[in-house]
Amino acid sequence: MMENNILVVDDEDYHRELMQKLLSKLGYEVEAVESAEDAFSSLEKQKFPVIITDLIMLEMDGVEFCRKIRETDNKTVVIALTGHTDLYDIDRLQEVGFDNHLTKPFKMEVLKQAIQDGFEEFRRRTDIQDDAL
Ligand SMILES: [Mg+2]
């Protein structure tokens, strides 16, 4: 597994491309897909320590996507991308298994910190698992 891989899921081209650009600039390997379905295809081929997903998407939305990930995976760090007008509350996001959320539009510093924290948390989770073996 590449230690600096991030999977971005967003159905809006502009947001997806912006995220890809910003995260690449920060030195991460970014795969950006436009739907939860495409994300699952990517996840079959490769593991990602950190996933950032938009919430409002056609077909499967971000909440359902995260819930499905959590059926089999409690280690991957999943971050929600929320808009100011989204009707999801933070408690609900935590309930389905999100680790964090970013509200659009966000500052580069905020994104950077959230991703750093995400990778740190992933390392912590996988270390704990290794120790238990
Ligand atoms: Mg959307």
| pLDDT tens-digit map of 61-99 | 999 999 999 999 999 999 999 886 667 788 889 999 999
Rounded average pLDDT over 112-133:
86
Q: If we measure between CA atoms, which residue out of 84, 86, 23 comes closest to residue 49?
A: 23
pLDDT value, residue 131: 61
Q: Could you tell me the distance, in angstroms and rounded to a whole number, from the CA of residue 45 to the centre of ligand 1? A: 24
Distance CA 53, CA 70 (A): 14
User: What is the reported pTM?
Assistant: 0.92
Q: If we measure between CA atoms, which residue out of 119, 102, 117 comes closest to residue 18?
A: 102
Domain segments of the chain: what residues?
5-128
pLDDT tens, position by position, 10-61: 999 999 999 999 999 999 999 999 999 999 999 999 999 999 999 999 899 9
Q: Could you tell me the distance, in angstroms and rounded to a whole number, from the CA of residue 10 to the centre of ligand 1? A: 6
- Spell out which residues have Cβ within 5 A of ligand 1, the ion: 11, 54, 56-57
Write the DSSP symbol of residue 3. T
pLDDT tens, position by position, 98-121: 999 999 888 999 999 999 999 999
Distance CA 109, CA 98 (A): 20
The CATH topology of domain 5-128 is: Rossmann fold (3.40.50)
